[in-house]
Amino acid sequence: MLTIYAPPGATIPKNKMKLVISKIRGVTSYGMLCSGAELNLSDESDGIVELSNAKYKKKI
């Protein structure tokens, strides 16, 4: 699966939140995976964006 990762320092367009390294439930978080709604790409806020990997396939 391909998805969209927002690293520390990124700003989430939906709420203008700037990501920082932080602890969530005792685990260090180094960013987040994004939903379409968080990126203002769609109204879909249930789950993360799944990108088609068809154009990224490589022959081995």
Q: Judge contact between 2 and 57, C-beta under 8 A.
A: no
The β-bridge relationship of strands 32-33 and 5-6 is antiparallel
Q: Residue 53 has what pLDDT?
A: 74
Q: 5: which 2 tokens?
A: 């990762």
Name residues whose C-beta falls within 8 Å of residue 52's C-beta, 6 or more positions apart in sequence.
Answer: 2
Using the predicted structure, report yes or no on whether residue 1 has a pLDDT greater than 60: yes
pTM over 0.85: no
Using the predicted structure, report yes or no on whether residue 56 has a pLDDT greater than 80: no
User: Which amino acid does the sequence have at 43?
Assistant: D
Residues found in the chain: 60
The confidence band for 60, taking pLDDT boundaries of 50, 70 and 90, is: low
